[in-house]
Amino acid sequence: MSSVEIRDVRKTFGTTEVLHGIDVMVPDGSFTVLVGPSGCGKSTLLRLIAGLEKITSGEILIDGRVVNDSPPKQRDIAMVFQNYALYPHMKVFDNMAFSLRLAKLDRKEIEEKVRQAAEILDLGDYLERYPRQLSGGQRQRVAMGRAIVRDPQVFLFDEPLSNLDAKLRVQMRTEIRELHQRLNSTSIYVTHDQIEAMTMADHIVVMCDGGIEQIGAPLELYDKPDNMFVASFIGSPAMNLIEGTIEVVDGHAAVAVDNDIRLPLPPNLGAQHGTRVYYGVRPEHLSLTNGTAGVPLDVSVVEPTGADTLIVCKLKGKDVLASFKERHDLRPGQSIRLEPDTALVHLFDANDGKRL
């Protein structure tokens, strides 16, 4: 177990810089998730930590030791790949024993370690099978088994669940989390799925276009996104972002979307009159009101999921999503009024997307 520190790491492929100076501190024993849309450089960063790619500049430290020039096997890491990368010609046992054999451990010790890992992962009955004879979830477990037999300092996961079906993904999510709690080893987990990030992580590193957008605990990112990218990326369904101008009349601030639409703001917000902003409000922070309060909208789609109901409305041609725990009898075409919970409203500068 140990910490991983990334200091101003850059990576270029040819003339393209894909990582522009990344700084991340992964504390000892934490479960850190790198999340971002595809092409944001999160997998590249993981491969740099693993030593599968050479970093162009900067430093990577594992357990306080600079590992820039160390080959993967000296970094004491284990990696779980997206496609599992199980050796197809080896049985499950041999797949898991491969690294131990290369490390020239004696047979009894190998046997013991593999059995132990197999027991943790409930793979005992499959040790004599070939990867092809296993289901997706079982293969995933073998891939994890191959990682844990080595008892490494750091576990690296490269989108390990994206090849599984939805139900299995939820189940494996819990299993990986349980495994981490049991082994308590530093883990770095790459995913493009923000729900995976939210549910599994101690720390989330949100990445976009080769840079870091925000680092924080899951709920921190949800409650206080630093910028519009994080705001729209974290949370499902995504946050509504409505463009408008701040209007301060008699000390009451609001965001004017159009001549007749005013979105309310909390009173103590030191907003400048006339600033172009994006008004961010999560679908779950909108509520249905009667009378004259709130903003008038037309319902265009109603999507009940059972637990809650998602409705899509139109505001000046743009979609606005609202999600209700209660069941309302709404129909497409119906006019409703929605009121945002002003305490939970986010404001972002329209120019640079930063939080105000």
Interface residue with other proteins, options 88, 270, 306, 333 (CB under 8 A): 88
Q: Which is nearer to other proteins, 81 or 344 (CB)?
A: 81
Instruction: By CB under 8 A, name the one of 33, 46, 62, 77 that touches other proteins.
Output: 77
Contact 341, 294 (CB under 8 A): no
Best CA proximity match to 295, nearest among 251, 274, 264: 264
Among 99, 186, 194, 214, binds other proteins (CB under 8 A): 99
Find out whether 131 and 87 touch, Cβ atoms under 8 Å.
yes
226 DSSP assignment? S
Whichever of 20 and 91 has its CB closer to other proteins, that residue is 91
- In the bound state with other proteins, the residue whose beta carbon lies nearer, of 3 and 163, is 163
How many angstroms separate the CA atoms of 302 and 131, rounded?
A: 44
Using CB under 8 A, pick the residue from 17, 28, 56, 81 that binds other proteins. Answer: 81
Query: Is the preceding peptide bond at 27 cis, omega within 30 degrees of 0?
Result: no
Q: Where in 198-217 is the site for other proteins (CB under 8 A)?
A: none
Residue 95: strand, helix, or coil = helix
Selected from 78, 198, 246, 345, the binder of other proteins by CB under 8 A is 78
The 10 Å CB-count burial string (b at 16+, else e) for 313-338 is bebeeeebbbbbeeeeebeeeeebeb
Residue 145 CB, shortest distance to other proteins, in Å, is 12
Site stretch for other proteins (CB under 8 A), options 9-17, 128-136, 202-210, 338-346: 128-136
Among the listed ranges 57-65, 97-105, 173-181, 290-298, the one in contact with other proteins (CB under 8 A) is 97-105
Give the Cα separation of 114 and 127 in Å (integer): 9
Nearer to other proteins by Cβ, of 49 and 330: the residue is 49
Distance CA 39, CA 16 (A): 13
Is residue 105 at the binding interface for other proteins, with CB under 8 A as the rule?
A: no
Q: List the structure tokens of 193.
A: 């799925």
Which CB atom, from 18 or from 46, has the smaller least distance to other proteins? 46
328 interacts with other proteins by CB under 8 A: no
In which residue are the tokens 């009451």 written? 252
- Does position 291 bind other proteins by CB under 8 A? no
Quick count: other Cβ atoms within 10 Å of Cβ 119?
11
Under the binding rule (CB under 8 A), the answer on residue 54 touching other proteins is no
Q: Which is nearer to other proteins, 133 or 236 (CB)?
A: 133
DSSP for 9-39, please give it.
Answer: EEEEETTEEEEEEEEEEE-TT-EEEEE-STT
**Chain contacts with other proteins (rule: CB under 8 A):** 50-52, 71-73, 77-79, 81-90, 98-99, 102-103, 130-134, 146, 150, 163
